[in-house]
Structure 1
Amino acid sequence: MKGSYLETIALIERLHRQCMEVVKAELDRLGVRDLNAVQAMILFNLGDSELTVGELTQRGYYLGSNVSYNVKKMVEAGYLKQERSPHDKRATHLSCSDKGMEICKQLDKLFGVHAEDLSGNGIDRQALSTANDSLHRLEGYWAAARMGTRSPFTTAA
């Protein structure tokens, strides 16, 4: 079991790195030089929503310091709009600018092509669903382990 577990950890790391390389290659193909792959994924995950930096961080996608740095760079480059909250002057709301939404659309198109191509490579909806279920369970286990509690997915002995 330990060997499989360690293989899963290594595979998650490699897959994340490869995904970022695919996103970077798409940015290069589009001629986008002022945005990195992580920033592009922040835009994609933000989409047409309006969130605070804290909400982006709470969703678990990014580390707080990295989000702040990347938000600053994307605001400067014109990919994000940042506005003070009318109710809480300490908070700022983020939304994609038109330039940012164009990146979202391009990534959505890329991921749509990938989704179509997967079935031709022996990965169907059921296979992805099974993988996603396992990864969600692992996420829940790690969240519980981080908090020092028992995972909700663990069966009683």
Structure 2
Amino acid sequence: MTDAAAARTREERIRDTHQRLADDVDTWVSTASEAGTPYLVPLSFLWDGTSVVISTVRTSPTSRNLLASGGQVRLAFGATRDVILVEGVAEPIEGDVLDEELAAAFAAKTGFDPREENEPYQYFRIRPRRVQAWREVDELAGRTLMKDGEWLTAEAT
């Protein structure tokens, strides 16, 4: 099904992207092993205004892959006809420096508190380096909203 609405401007897409990051609860997280084996899993997240925070079992393939790869990660939000793709770098947030306010905000947003689980969980802060968003083919041009960690302006190509 297609939407007859006109393609959004970059400013509208950036605004919509920020809103989705603030409102959505889950994202698809894509990592790869050292051997290059892809791994895809849905995880809950918190957008803190500049980065995406996720948490997963410390021994999970996602956690192992992020720690071994220098944190290379891709995230996908939404359906195929209203998608946001984020390429970024995940940094582990160690338990001894985990900000209680951040952990509480994550639990409140996601409805899940990793601190209460029996298995140890690892938090990661994902800093976006590239963000793309589009709905239909008419939004493919200009789909890049962030490049090298900087949001683009209306004049940028």
TM-score, normalised to structure 1, is: 0.29
TM-score, normalised to structure 2, is: 0.29
Q: Whose Rg is larger?
A: 1
Q: Comparing both structures, which one devotes a greater share of its residues to helix?
A: 1
